[in-house]
Amino acid sequence: MRLGVAATAPLGADVLERLARTNEIAFLLTRPDAPRGRGRRLAAPPAKEAADRLGIPVYQPERPELPEDVERVVVCAYGLYIPPRLLDESLWLNVHPSLLPRWRGAAPVERAILAGDEETGVTIHETVAELDAGPIAAREPFAIGDSDAGAVFEHAGRLAADLLERVLLEPTFTPQGEEGATYAEKIGPDDRRLDLDDPLDAWRRVRALSPHIGAWTELHGRRVTIWQARLEDGAFVPEVVQPEGRGRMGYDEFLRGAR
């Protein structure tokens, strides 16, 4: 099938690459280049980088527009509001990495881990004006276990591509409903700070924000981002840390330097 794809973030890039293996991608609709990294240099979104590798035409309007007519547009981690007039021009199918209606919104993977959910999943639904509230074409769960957000996103990308292949040609929809709806607010600065007096929450927070955001605390008088940790007999044990202004290192190496 000839598709349009609207995607920006790494999950969207992953789904784009997987769809391109079996479908003709007419175009990628993505957000404009933006400053990234410590130097705040202008950089392309991950989905654009993937499209460039695949030779897919890329469009980066400040506000969404369809560059050409297609029967389906797959939306995945795009990050811009799609106005109703565009929704009337094609069938927009949204990939959402949660079991909707649980965790509608910007950070479903992170919020699921923070809440201690035992499972999450992927939902394919029709994009409508209301946030992540459209009727559902496919939904499948998977266990979170001790995974961090990176592993959950990777699993979600694989599952999303499989589900899309099942429903792209002839989707049938079931109303989503509001029972059990929760909202996954965007991760803010306060979400990144670890409370070491609450080991379970700290462990979940490290996993929820790794490897893409990072959770931090103060150890031995220094601000330290903790990228990996474990619970050991109920105690929080850092494993991979990054002192401010330094690279990532094992916790033992950090302790030797602190002494």
Provide the token pair at 160: 């999303």
- 99, 123 Cβ separation under 8 angstroms: yes
Interatomic CA distance for residues 169 and 197, integer angstroms = 52
Interatomic CA distance for residues 7 and 95, integer angstroms = 10
Regarding whether 114 and 218 lie in a shared domain, the answer is no
CATH number at residue 218: 3.10.25.10
Regarding whether 196 and 180 lie in a shared domain, the answer is no
| Phi, psi values for residue 206, rounded to 5° | -60, -45
Regarding whether 165 and 131 lie in a shared domain, the answer is yes
One pLDDT digit (tens) per residue for the chain, 259 residues: 899 999 999 999 999 999 999 999 999 999 999 887 777 788 999 999 999 999 999 999 999 999 999 999 999 999 999 999 999 999 999 999 999 999 999 999 999 999 999 999 999 999 999 999 999 999 999 999 999 999 999 999 999 999 999 999 999 999 999 999 999 999 999 999 999 999 999 999 999 999 999 999 999 889 999 999 999 999 999 999 999 989 999 999 999 877 6
3-state class of 215 per DSSP?
strand
Q: Of 58, 75, 64, which Cα lies nearest the Cα of 5?
A: 75
Regarding whether 180 and 105 lie in a shared domain, the answer is yes
Range of the structural domain that residue 210 is part of: 189-258
The pTM (predicted TM-score) of the whole model is 0.95
* Count of domains for the chain: 2
Beta bridge partners of 4: 27, 73
3-state class of 198 per DSSP?
coil
Regarding whether 30 and 152 lie in a shared domain, the answer is yes
Q: Give the residue from 141, 164, 184 where a domain finishes.
A: 184
